[in-house]
Amino acid sequence: MRLRLCIITVLLLNAASLVAQEDTLEQGFGWSFVPIPAYTPETSWMAALTAFVTYRDNVDPTMRTSSLAVALQGTLKNQFSLGLYPEIYLDSNRVRIEGGIEWYLYPYNFFGVGNNNPSSNAELYTPYGAKLELRALYALSGTRVQHGLSAGIHLDVRYDHIRSVEQRSDGTVGPLGRGDVVGAEGGWYNGIGPQVSYDTRDNNFDARAGVFAETHVVAYGALLGSSFSSVVTTLDARAYALVFSDVSVAGRVLVQSSTGAPPFLQLPSIGGSNNMRGIIDAQQRDRMSLLAGVEMRFPILWRFRGAAYADAGQVASTPSSVAVDQLWISWGAGIRFLLVPEERISLRFDVGVARGVPQFYLGFNEAF
């Protein structure tokens, strides 16, 4: 589930306003209240009402501001969440602590396990639960976590109760409804592991130069009170380059794997507003996922910018079962409107197409 789209937007907009108005920066606390809309195929229209508190301990505009968002999110598909989202910088930006604490009631579709699940497989399930995700990083090179190499820990604590599973549209009961899927009744998902990040991007929201690479390995098991034993590994690598005046190209490779006895919610997937636009989020999921994408970004007029992109991805049960002729290919284009040009923060509208079916997305900032 993607519960943080609106919350992240609020964080970015407020952080940008602090930097853009650097001549008025002041130490101490600040606050604001912001409503934010968005749209994805998985949620339909959504909105978040967010109270946002910031704290700045200096007036240097290049230093990050600590923040805490308290947000209530709802969608037209009766999906709701309430959460706290801290992003705290300590020791002159050498330490970053971020994550979220969420409560949610979030109906979602399970389509099965594999690389070719049709939409008719959908089983609407309703999880009710709470989660805590925490990432703490310390700068190993340079003087700040946002420049160079940093390392730390990744903590994931979650409890889900699957309140109900509906029949498929043809009236049959699918594997989730029959209880044939690991995690069909919910449970505890508690894990911890190392995280390493390398970041030289020129901008966090719309990078046009530099690289970003991050990996984390999170182990879940009975020792931590988890109902399931598994290891989830993620590698996310991105590169950005200017082609010529204000035109840039961005590339990304994302690899995820889950070993042991993972519940279905931990199985890697493809699709969604950031990971292969045009494919429904998590319609294709399995023990591992591979994704590669390239995007060209260019100016149009005034504050309007454009993008064109193509992605290829697949989920598989083992590395040996990955096959070129089983790849999902998606492509599309979109328009951005720069809300805060100084920080490259934008409103994003995209159309993504996979196997002839278009999907529409309204959100904020670039997909990666």
20 pLDDT higher than 60: no
Question: How far is C-alpha 10 from the chain's CA centre?
Answer: 15
Look up residue 139 and give its amino acid: A
CA-angle at 317, arms to 313 and 319, nearest 5°: 70
Nearest Cα to 176, choosing from 327, 285, 281? 285
Residue 357 C-alpha from the chain's centroid: 23
Among 21-25, 49-53, 243-247, where is mean pLDDT lowest? 21-25
Is the per-residue pLDDT at 231 higher than 50? Answer: yes
Neighbours of 33 (CB within 10 A): 10
Mean pLDDT of the chain: 90
Task: For residue range 24-41, list pLDDT tens digits in order.
Answer: 556 777 777 778 788 999
Percent of the chain with pLDDT over 90: 73
Band of residue 214 on the pLDDT scale cut at 50, 70, 90: very high
Q: How many CB atoms lie within 10 A of CB 3?
A: 22
Burial (CB count within 10 angstroms: exposed 0-12, middle 13-18, buried 19+), residue 67:
buried
Alpha-carbon distances of 227 from 103, 108, 278, 289, 310, rounded to whole Å: 19, 21, 34, 24, 39
Least confident span in 6-15, 67-76, 332-341: 6-15
pLDDT of 22 reads 44
CATH fold of 5-364: Porin (2.40.160)
pLDDT classification of 93: cutoffs 50, 70, 90: confident
Mean pLDDT to the nearest integer, 127-147: 91
Q: Produce one character per residue of 276-291: b if its CB has 16 or more CB atoms within 10 Å, e if not.
A: bbbbbbbbbbbbbbbb
Q: Is the pLDDT of residue 23 over 50?
A: no
